[in-house]
Amino acid sequence: MSPLFGTDPWWIILIKAAGVLVYLLLFTLFNIVFERKVVAKMQHRVGPIMNGPWGTLQSLADGVKLMVKEDFRPKNAEKFVYNLAPYLVAIPAFSILSMIPLGGEVTMFGVETRLQLTDMPVAVLMLLALASVGIYGIVLAGWSSGSTYSLLGGLRSSAQMISYEIAMGLSFVSVFMYAGSMSTSQIVEAQQQPLNFLGLEIPIPGWYALLLIPAFIVYVISMVGETNRAPFDLPEAESELVGGFHTEYSGFRFAMFFLAEYINMVNVSAIATTLFLGGYHAPWPLNGTFLDQGYWGLLWFTLKVLLFMFLFVWLRGTLPRFRYDQFMGFGWKILIPIALGWILAVATIRNIVTNGFGAVALVSVVLFIAAMVAYLWILDRPGVDEELPDETEDATDEFDPFAGGYPVPPKPGQRLPEFADVVEGETVHETETTGSTTRSDDKGADS
């Protein structure tokens, strides 16, 4: 860790803390307009145009509206927890960027410092810990609202965020192996080493998005699920849960949830930039030039974060929402095993590069291949609900297709009984064996 951390005067620390806060707020105001403009372009619409030049002040107008809007609290809400929940979501969101390097060494008012508020040897683990605190705010918001829809949204969100944080944390392990550190600033500097491919040194920075492609893909998918964004916005599924965990919130309290969601989008994009895209350093061939020094790093960092913000908007405008069981199954059955397998692969490769291909490496390769084959065999097996009975066998288990007053589809092995119904003066007889339908009017004439 750089000796510059912990030696700044108190007033420099205050300036950098205020800079992080302003950076997040300005980025949020920009992202709201950016998202609406990009989605409008994808749908051949215009988007916001009324407030400010080309609608650029639309997000500011929305924020002012929420600030002055009347604030309601449900009668059955748990008052203290209901008021506390938005702060539990917003405060960690504002804290994460303090450990992300926004630039390199600069001179600020005559003091040499870094464009990073603080760093520590286990900074990445601290980022994961702060991200997990936000889950408590969402769960407590859903429980304390006294609404069934809010409670279901909170439970969905907690299960979703916990499962995808596991995959996200596992995707960091291979980065730690290559960088040899959990410090964000040291991980950024480790990616400036020339790319080494099969012993051939290529004069390109070894960004971990290239060296550790599976881990990068797992993280990108996990960060979309972590932020509850489409197509993984199941805790806020309007067609199912009205508005999810914040259904009963309005005014400034709702604004805090809204603000935290967009700030978290910036946070996960900043983490991806730091761990996989070389952080604040310029891309090749500009790396190492004067455009890769001083305050220029803030520009490159912002542009890389914008790439991920466009990815968020692009996914929202193109992909439909997942079904909840599909989404959770994808996280537990696909992402987490892939992340674990990639950790084993990286550990084996690092061991071979360091110690040569010995007996330990051979055993590791054999075990890795066996584990992957076993997992693919288990994954390919049909589930219990997919094991359909033989169609040639007679299924005698009949059921009522209108049990409880609602049409119910048959389960595997069940059959529709013969029934008669009257539709608009016609009697409809349907048999299961032929699937044919016979209609007759009230006079008995066949039609």
Q: Tens digit of pLDDT for each residue in 44-71?
A: 888 888 888 888 888 888 888 888 888 8
pLDDT band at 250; cut points 50, 70, 90: confident
Share of the chain above pLDDT 90, in %: 21
User: What span, in angstroms and rounded, lies between the C-alpha atoms of 173 and 179?
Assistant: 10
* Strand partners for 107: 112
pLDDT band at 21; cut points 50, 70, 90: very high
Burial of residue 293 (number of CB atoms within 10 Å: 0-12, 13-18, 19+)? middle
The alpha carbons of the chain give a radius of gyration, in whole angstroms, of 28
SS3 1: coil
Q: Are 70 and 251 in contact (CB under 8 A)?
A: yes
Q: Is the pLDDT of residue 261 over 70?
A: yes
Q: Which residues of 384-393 are buried (b: 16+ CB within 10 A; e: fewer)?
A: eeeeeeeeee
**The pLDDT value given to residue 4:** 58
Q: What kind and span of H or E run contains 111?
A: strand 111-114
Round to the nearest angstrom and report the end-to-end CA distance of the chain. 86
Contacts of residue 292, defined as CB under 8 A and 6 or more positions apart, other chains included, come to: 281, 282, 286, 300
Burial of residue 133 (number of CB atoms within 10 Å: 0-12, 13-18, 19+)? middle
User: What span, in angstroms and rounded, lies between the C-alpha atoms of 220 and 238?
Assistant: 25
Q: Is the pLDDT of residue 196 over 80?
A: no
Averaged over 319-331, what is the pLDDT?
83
* Strand partners for 111: 108
**The pLDDT value given to residue 398:** 60
**The pLDDT value given to residue 395:** 46
CA 215 vs CA 164, 169, 237: distances in Å: 13, 10, 29
User: What span, in angstroms and rounded, lies between the C-alpha atoms of 237 and 227?
Assistant: 14
Q: Give the residue carrying structure tokens 């929940």.
A: 85
In this structure, the number of other CB atoms found within 10 A of the CB of residue 298 comes to 17
For residue 56 the two structure tokens come to 């650029």
pLDDT band at 313; cut points 50, 70, 90: very high
Q: How many helices (H) and strands (E) does the chain have?
A: 14, 9
Kindly report the CA angle at 227 between 215 and 273, in degrees rounded to 5? 45
User: What span, in angstroms and rounded, lies between the C-alpha atoms of 231 and 345?
Assistant: 30
Averaged over 179-206, what is the pLDDT?
80
Q: Is the pLDDT of residue 361 over 50?
A: yes
Query: To the nearest whole number, what is the mean pLDDT of the chain?
Result: 80
pLDDT band at 380; cut points 50, 70, 90: low
pTM of the model: 0.79
pLDDT band at 263; cut points 50, 70, 90: very high
The least confident of 137-146, 308-317, 366-375 is 366-375
| Side chain identity, residue 17 | A
The least confident of 2-6, 79-83, 145-149, 309-313 is 2-6
In this structure, the number of other CB atoms found within 10 A of the CB of residue 263 comes to 22
**The pLDDT value given to residue 439:** 45
SS3 284: coil
Burial of residue 175 (number of CB atoms within 10 Å: 0-12, 13-18, 19+)? buried
For residue 198 the two structure tokens come to 């099969």
Averaged over 110-137, what is the pLDDT?
88
The least confident of 11-20, 76-85, 401-410 is 401-410
**The pLDDT value given to residue 20:** 93
The domain ranges of the chain are 10-322, 397-441
pLDDT band at 138; cut points 50, 70, 90: confident
Q: Are 137 and 89 in contact (CB under 8 A)?
A: yes
Q: Tens digit of pLDDT for each residue in 398-428?
A: 666 666 666 666 666 666 666 544 444 444 4
**The pLDDT value given to residue 65:** 85
pLDDT band at 438; cut points 50, 70, 90: very low
Averaged over 231-250, what is the pLDDT?
77
The least confident of 89-98, 193-202, 274-283 is 193-202
DSSP string, 369-409: HHHHHHHHHHHHS--GGG-PPPTTSPP-EE--TTGGGS--P
